[in-house]
Structures are given as C-alpha cells and as structure tokens.
C-alpha cells in the first residue's frame, strides 16, 4: 500500500509519511525511563502524544514490561465510584495482559489482580497492593503508561487514583511498584484540579507535584520536516526543493505536528484535483512550491477542525487568556514569559502560546491567522470599517490583482470620517485592528494575511498580505517623530529584502497636530515605499 500523510489518529511508520522519532524515543528512554522517572507529557491537542507513546511502547519492550493504557477507553460511568473504577481497571488490565505483555508477568500475580472484578466492593488500596505484587514478580521492570489521562480528570475517583499511584511510586523501594510512570494529556498534572474544583476554589494540585519536568521537544524542526519530504520525494518524484519546502512549512507551523501533516496532506491529495494547479507546466513542481503551500494554508484555515474548535472553547472558558492574546496581536504588547501567570501558563499548556527569547508569542502563524479571522469576524458585525470596505471592494481589485495603494488611500479617508476625533490612547490601542477590519472583506475568500511575530512590538507591526500569490508588506506603526520614522523606513527596506520585494507600504498613526494626512510615495535606496499617514 502506498504511504500517505495522516491527520486522523496515530501515525504508523509503515503506512504514513512521518517525521522519524528515533532520537526522541532514545532521549525519553535514556533521560526518563532508565532513571525511573515519574513524568507527564503534556502538550496541546494533536501534538503527537499518542504516536510518541505507541512507538515508545515498542521501543522499550526489550528492557521493560510495558503496561500501556488509554483512559479514553474508560467511560465516565467507569469512574462513578471507587468500586466501579477498580472493577473496570482490573478488566482493562486483563485485556492488556492477555497478549505478549503476559510473557514478562507472573501468571499467578496476573490472575490475582484480574480476579478483583469478582470481589465485592473492591477498594483502591487493594488494587494497588495487587499491582505492587505484579511489579515484584515481573521478569522485567514494569513501566505504566497512561494516555489521555486528563480525559478522566474531572472527578474525585481519578484524583484518588493518582494519590495512591504517587504514594506507591515514592515508597517503591519498600513496596515494589512501577519502575517508571508516564502520563500523557493536555493538562499538566499540577493543573488537574482546575477541572474538578469550583472556580472560586481553583488551586494547583500540589499533593501530586512529584513529576519530573519533561523537556523533550515534541515539535518538528525544519530539518526533520525535510527528512519526511525526502522520503516522499523518493516515492513521488515531484522535483521539489525539499529544504526550501520544509523551511516554508515550518515558517507557517513552527513545527506543530498536526499542522505540518495537514499542509502536506492537502498538497498531496487536494491540490492535484485543483484546476489552477493542473494546467500548463509541471503540475507537481507547481504544487510543491511556495504557491502551493500558500493555497494549502488558505484551505486549512477554512476548515472546521477539532483542533480549532478546541481553541475556541478554551478561549471562551478562559476570557483572560483571550484578552491577553488579543493584546499581543493587535497592540503589539510585549509580555515577559512567566509560567506563574495563569493566562500565560494556560496558553503554553494548550499549545496556543510559546516562549521566544524571553517573551510570550502566538505559537505559530496558522494559529495567529485563524485567531485573527475569528476576532475580526466578531468585530466586523459592529464595525463601520468593515462596512465601508465591503462597499468599496470592487475599486481595489483590478484584473484580479490587489491595488494596495488604493486600499490605503480609501482607509485614510474613512478613518478620519469615523475615528478622527478619538484620542491618542484610543487610536494607539485600536488603530491596527481598524485597518485589519478594513482589509478583511477586500481579500476575503481569495487572500490571507498575518502579522509577522519577529518584528512586532508596541510601536510597529509588519503585516504580510498574500493575494493570489502576490505578497504585500505593510508596516503599521505609531509615529514617534522623524528620527523614529526614518528608522522605520530602514526596517521595512530590510524586510522587503527578506521577501525579495521592491515595493512596500507603511501605515503611520500620527498624533502630531501638524501632521500631513494622506498617501505619498517615497524612494529609499532602490526600494519604493507607499506611506499612508492618518
């Protein structure tokens, strides 16, 4: 069977194109399992946790007896009471230990443990005594692995189970227990009580803070992505530049595993059916190019996916997290990374944010584009900016090309009609949002835009607009005087060089009473810059 890119469930090396995880597995074994660590792999949704655990299970089998469980296979009813949980847990172990895993276990100890299904009102302490016996008599050190552990974390029975697990792990020199414990889920173990306590009682789950810090990188590097593409290229002979493709995919995804696979899957399966990519010329080379990636991202952003649905749910549940992310994107607010700040901690845990050079940034460009679409659409319902550009849209597209200079000219005009009387603080906070609102209906359905995180600060933000494969670089900035303005011109020239563009655009929000409102074109070296001042 021909291999393919997978976005549904666990990836398997013989069936799917995937990043090779040998180095990751070796690092987990060497630094955590071999040292008998109790640790939690907590990452955002669809971050490759299950794939990693399944491969790790096989990787460890020569040296360890692995009990690999998935708490998604236990229903809510299984946690109704301590007795019910013990019975169902024992039944689950009976199923697991009936296969090859049984070879490393003492048959009598296994039989005694699974017989708890027939005991009247069995308790957790009895269950753990039997598991201690299982560990004591096993031929190899026993590793307990539980995937989707936080799917059960909204009830007290599970927390009691963790308490027993902790106690036996700490005391394992006196009472034999699991050599290593691996839990995987979105929620870090110290945050589990966020899910079971009333909001007024939210506290961190300190009684279980024995987990070793897990520092193994789960995202993919550009080099790892290239290795996967090279395997695809050997099979499919597209003629792509694998290094360049990997770097561009990384720029959009920052190596988020699901997003990497999703883009590749669209390139492999959907774009070959798109007439715009199957015309004249080398179809494969056209698809596996920057143009193809841009189209794949556009398709991805329009899909209703569990990953994006989860993001929206979490932002609704934690409004302080949403507010912080809007400040980062719209206002260019710089926040120092501190895991002790609740919204930052939540954003990192869910995979929406990441730390970069001591600052908090949106995790990747795809997330930022999706969030911008969400926030802008919500604002558009009540925005005069959106309504104005919706009416003006036909003026901005000529022969299928976007006229960005005209967009800026009309924005300057409408901005002063609608917002000109607002004070400096108001404009500084919302000015960039207004331009995004104005631009959205003009390019909607055909183009995309994102704000470049590398250049964002409280004073300036570079906006990259992609319309039908043509890129427009727009620097949005707060005017701080002529010297600052000249530095801004030099900065955009450098950014134009990076994107191989000869023409750029600047949108300056100027609070000088003697300012000259309007749009003009200036030359900076060999570059042409269209500057709009409002």
One digit per residue, the tens of pLDDT, for the chain of length 534 reads 789 999 998 999 989 999 999 999 999 999 999 999 999 998 999 999 999 999 999 999 999 999 999 998 888 888 889 999 999 999 999 998 887 667 889 999 999 999 999 988 899 999 999 999 999 999 999 999 999 887 766 678 888 888 899 889 999 888 899 999 999 988 766 655 545 444 444 444 444 567 788 999 999 999 999 999 999 999 999 999 999 999 999 999 999 999 999 999 999 999 998 877 876 566 787 899 988 998 999 899 989 999 999 999 999 999 999 999 988 887 667 789 998 899 999 999 999 999 988 999 999 999 988 988 888 777 766 666 556 666 667 788 888 899 999 999 988 887 776 665 555 566 666 777 788 888 888 887 788 888 775 554 444 567 889 888 888 999 888 776 665 556 667 778 888 887 888 999 989 887 776 668 889 998 888 899 999 988
Q: What is the dihedral of CA 160, 163, 168, 171, to 10 degrees?
A: -150
Rounded distance between C-alpha atoms, residue 431 and residue 415, angstroms: 9
Residue 493 near residue 527, CB atoms below 8 Å: yes
Q: Which pTM value belongs to this model?
A: 0.82
Our separate counts of H helices and E strands in the chain read 19, 16
Cα 490 from Cα 476, distance rounded (Å): 14
Q: What is the DSSP letter of 221?
A: P
Q: Going by DSSP bridges, is the β-strand pair 470-478/460-467 parallel, antiparallel, or unpaired?
A: antiparallel
Classify residue 30 by its DSSP letter. Answer: I
Dihedral sign, Cα of residue 352, residue 358, residue 359, residue 365: negative
Q: What is the DSSP string of 309-333?
A: HHHHHHHHH-HHHHHHHHHHHHS--
């Amino acid at each position: 069977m021909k291999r393919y890119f997978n976005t549904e469930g666990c990836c398997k090396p013989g069936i799917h194109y995937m990043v090779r995880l040998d180095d990751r597995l070796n690092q987990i074994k060497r630094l955590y399992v071999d040292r008998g660590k109790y640790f939690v792999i907590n990452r955002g949704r669809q971050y490759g946790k299950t794939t990693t655990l399944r491969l790790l299970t096989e990787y460890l089998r020569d040296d360890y007896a692995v009990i690999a469980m998935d708490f998604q296979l236990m229903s809510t009813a299984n946690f109704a009471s301590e007795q019910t949980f013990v019975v169902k847990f024992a039944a689950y172990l009976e199923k697991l230990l009936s296969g090859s895993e049984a070879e490393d276990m003492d048959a009598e100890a296994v039989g005694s443990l699974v017989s708890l299904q027939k005991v009247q009102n069995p308790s957790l302490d009895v269950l753990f005594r039997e598991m201690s016996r299982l560990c004591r008599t096993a031929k190899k050190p026993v590793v307990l692995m539980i995937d989707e552990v936080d799917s059960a974390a909204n009830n007290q029975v599970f927390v009691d189970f963790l308490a027993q697990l902790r106690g036996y792990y700490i005391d394992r020199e006196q009472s034999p227990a699991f050599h290593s414990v691996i839990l995987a889920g979105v929620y870090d173990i110290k945050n589990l009580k966020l899910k079971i306590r009333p909001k007024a009682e939210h506290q961190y789950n300190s009684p279980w803070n024995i987990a070793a810090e897990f520092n193994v990188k789960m995202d993919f590097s550009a080099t790892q992505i290239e290795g996967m593409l090279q395997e695809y290229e050997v099979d499919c002979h597209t003629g792509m530049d694998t290094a360049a493709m990997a770097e561009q995919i990384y720029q959009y995804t920052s190596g988020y595993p699901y997003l990497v696979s999703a883009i590749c899957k669209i390139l492999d399966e959907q774009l070959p059916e798109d007439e715009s990519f199957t015309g004249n010329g080398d179809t494969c080379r056209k698809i596996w190019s920057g143009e193809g990636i841009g189209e794949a991202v556009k398709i991805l952003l329009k899909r209703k996916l569990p990953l994006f649905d989860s993001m929206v749910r979490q932002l609704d549940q934690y409004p302080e997290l949403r507010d912080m992310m809007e400040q980062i994107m719209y206002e260019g607010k710089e926040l120092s990374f501190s895991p002790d700040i609740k919204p930052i901690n939540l954003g990192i845990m869910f995979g929406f944010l990441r730390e970069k050079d001591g600052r908090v940034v949106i995790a990747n460009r795809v997330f930022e584009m999706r969030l911008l679409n969400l926030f802008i659409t919500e604002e558009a319902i009540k925005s005069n900016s959106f309504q104005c550009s919706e009416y003006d849209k036909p003026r901005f597209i000529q022969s299928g090309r976007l006229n960005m200079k005209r967009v800026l000219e009309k924005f300057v005009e409408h901005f002063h009609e609608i917002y000109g009387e607002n004070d400096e603080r108001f404009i500084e906070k919302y000015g960039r949002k207004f331009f995004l609102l104005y631009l959205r209906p003009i390019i909607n359905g055909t183009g995309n835009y994102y704000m470049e995180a590398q250049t964002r600060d409280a004073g300036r933000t570079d906006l990259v607009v992609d319309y039908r494969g043509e890129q427009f670089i727009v620097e949005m900035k707060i005017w701080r005087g002529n010297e600052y303005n000249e530095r801004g011109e030099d900065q955009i020239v450098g950014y134009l060089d990076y994107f191989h563009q000869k023409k750029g655009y600047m949108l300056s929000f100027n609070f000088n009473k003697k300012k000259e409102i309007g749009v003009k074109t200036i030359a900076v070296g060999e570059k042409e810059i269209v500057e709009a001042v409002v």
